[in-house]
Amino acid sequence: MLEQFDDNVTVGQVIKKIKGDLAENNKEEESTFRRVQEEYKDSYLKFLDPDALFGRTLNVYHIEEITAKEKSTDWETFYTLKGNKLEFTKREVFELGMNGEDIHHSFSETQLKEMTKITEKEFKDYVFEYERIKGKLAKIIG
């Protein structure tokens, strides 16, 4: 790292440069975080995962807000979601509340962009189907 500085630079100047670079990086990260928060606030997304554990799985999300950001082990930024999730597989259907604190409900910006944005009405249609299936199961199981 020090190769980028010439021999006449003092340690204090190197420290000052590194601190400045870190401050600039932090400002960029915060700006990106605010942009992603705004872009996905109160949004609806769906994602068909063909390779999920139990086969093809449709995940449908209502993102109320993005509450936090974390770094993965390879320094990719992940955003933690608060809202609701519906999951449809051949084996089961379920609804899950996302509290905004669990890293299992985190996605990178790339992953969020790979999802399809849907309308609130479309989301409510999925909720209706979830409730219909759940009702049928309750009748069958008792």
For 30-88, the pLDDT digits (tens) are 899 999 999 999 999 999 999 998 899 999 999 999 999 998 888 899 999 999 999 99
Residues contacting 117, CB < 8 A, separation 6+ = 43, 44, 45
For 1-35, the pLDDT digits (tens) are 555 656 677 778 777 777 777 777 778 888 999 99
Query: How far is CA 23 from each of CA 14, 16, 20, 35, rounded to the nearest angstrom?
Result: 14, 11, 5, 18
Q: How far apart are CA 58 and CA 86, in angstroms?
A: 8
Q: How far apart are CA 137 and CA 123, in angstroms?
A: 21
Instruction: State the pTM of this model.
Output: 0.80
Token representation of residue 105:
């409900």
The domains of the chain are located at 41-141
